Amino acid sequence: MRNELFTIGPLTVYGYGTMIALGVIVAWIVTDYRAKRQKLDREHVFSLVIWCLLGGMLCAKFLFWITEWHEIVKSPQYILDTLSDGFVVYGGIIGGILSGCLYCRSKKINFWKYFDLVMPSVALAQGFGRIGCLLAGCCYGRETNSIFSITFQNSDFAPNHVALIPTQIYSSILDFLHFVILLCIARHKKKDGQVAACYLIFYSIGRFALEFFRGDLIRGSVGMLSTSQFISLFILVAGILILVIRSKKKTATDL
């Protein structure tokens, strides 16, 4: 795997950035199509995607700096050195949701309907993003003797020439599967908010389990749990609460 796909003059096209961009574009197309099918105002879709993307990136970066606070204490220059890399997925999820909520409130549209609309596409975009991780060699797994392994030769992140658990591939498969399951749930949902709640529940469970196979635990930990596992517990509880509360609603209401 190689993160630098090709170079044209001074321009270098990176695999990670390409897959992230592809994921966002595909997610937007799918969201727009589903909005049309559901007779939702499609004019809001593009703006909502941009708001969630920007808010998600800011929070993903901010949470990364929080997890790397010890490095920042040693050298504040670390903030500037990591402006273009180092993001925490959960920060992106939380930031995207908050940004989407603010947008819906500002436009006085039903947050829960659009929340349900967007979240399957988020899972889809994450599937492409994990392929980007595979190309770059980040988010790698632990060393293994299994035949189901991957060995990097020129990664700047993963240890090279060592057989590793292909956590990026497993994550990508789970994300694409997650997307399909959420679409099925969306077709049969009874109340607004149920699809989004299921996203939070399923993603937190899957992420918690996959963390046991990750080899980049330098990302930090809270007791016996990795930082992501610790956050997963709160996301799981939030998802369950949303599912229970929204399911008891007699009618869908604007937030």
The parts of the chain modelled with pLDDT lower than 70 are 1, 217-219, 250-255
Q: What is the pLDDT of residue 116?
A: 97
What is the chain's Cα-based Rg?
A: 19
Give the C-alpha separation, 186 to 167, whole Å. Answer: 28
Q: Is 44 exposed, middle or buried (0-12, 13-18, 19+ CB in 10 A)?
A: middle
- Do the beta carbons of residue 141 and residue 162 sit within 8 Å? no
Number of other residues whose CB lies within 10 A of the CB of residue 60: 20
- 175: nearest Cα among 218, 119, 216, 220: 119
Give the model confidence (pLDDT) of 84-133 as tens digits: 777 788 999 999 999 999 999 999 999 999 999 999 999 999 999 999 99
Indicate the pTM of the whole model. Answer: 0.89
Q: What is the pLDDT of residue 233?
A: 97
Question: Coil, strand, or helix at residue 185?
Answer: helix
